[in-house]
Amino acid sequence: MPLNLRSGRTMRTAIFDMDGLLIDSEPLWREAEIAVFGSLGIRLTEDLCRRTMGLRIDEVVRYWHRQAPWNGPSREQVAEQVLDAVQRLIIEHGSLMEGARDTIADLYAQDARLAIASSSPLHLIKTVVEKFAIDRYFSVLHSAEHEIAGKPNPAVYRTTMSLLEADAQDCVAFEDSVLGVQAAKAAGATVVAVPAPEDALDPGFAVADVVLASLKDFSLDLVPRR
């Protein structure tokens, strides 16, 4: 049976972002970007890295190439260097976010269909779900690498909903970035935002239906009537 919300509405699907939402990987992405772009003479800081949080890696590379064009490796090669570094860091140091495993397991136990819709490439999504043995919970794993544009474009969510054969009004999306919240809202989902503490005051999160400090605080009772 699908989950019944307090409004009487039914939630049949839950769609999760991955980086910074399920896995504490944003610091690892920043570490990789600082190292790789530093080798090209671009001195990034953690705050500068937050400018591109939620974007696909090709869009991150294109952004910094516009800011400070470099000679040497192509943008595609730089993107691969970052991805290789992130994958290694996740395997060696990655950890799930607080409340992530319990939220996933609880929703799955109540017969919700679960999916991941991430800006990360599919091979990285698979690395994460296999490392933490959560792959069995998800019906769909979908990457924005296969879309015409990444978040905040809603394409990754719309395709995920299609693969799930789900109506947007029956979907709850979980996001940690403003760009992700914008993408999920544009796709028609109810949005639960779980921003990092340093980003919690960003006014961009105001469009989310629910804003939480952690996934451990999530309850179906918090999801508002639409």
What integer pLDDT is reported at residue 5 of this predicted model? 44
Q: Judge if pTM exceeds 0.85.
A: yes
Looking at the structure, tell me whether residues 101 and 202 fall in a common domain.
yes
Catalytic residue at 111? no
pLDDT tens digits, one per residue of 120-150 = 999 999 999 999 999 999 999 999 998 999 9
What integer pLDDT is reported at residue 221 of this predicted model? 83
Residue 8: pLDDT above 70? no
pLDDT tens digits, one per residue of 44-88 = 999 999 999 888 999 999 999 999 999 989 999 999 999 999 999
Looking at the structure, tell me whether residues 101 and 174 fall in a common domain.
yes
Looking at the structure, tell me whether residues 79 and 120 fall in a common domain.
no
Q: Write down which residue in 77, 93, 109 finishes a domain.
A: 93
Q: Which of 19, 24, 170, 209 is catalytic?
A: 19
Residue 220: pLDDT above 90? no
Looking at the structure, tell me whether residues 142 and 213 fall in a common domain.
yes
Catalytic residue at 17? yes
Looking at the structure, tell me whether residues 105 and 184 fall in a common domain.
yes
Looking at the structure, tell me whether residues 192 and 132 fall in a common domain.
yes
Q: Which of 17, 24, 170, 176 is catalytic?
A: 17
Q: Which two tokens mark 174?
A: 């979980």
Least confident piece of the model among 2-6, 50-54, 115-119, 122-126: 2-6
How many domains is the chain built from?
A: 2
Q: Which of 209, 205, 204 is nearest to 172 (CA)?
A: 209
Looking at the structure, tell me whether residues 100 and 86 fall in a common domain.
no
- Find the CATH number of the domain harbouring 83: 1.10.150.240
Domain containing 85: what range? 26-93
Looking at the structure, tell me whether residues 68 and 103 fall in a common domain.
no
Looking at the structure, tell me whether residues 102 and 17 fall in a common domain.
yes
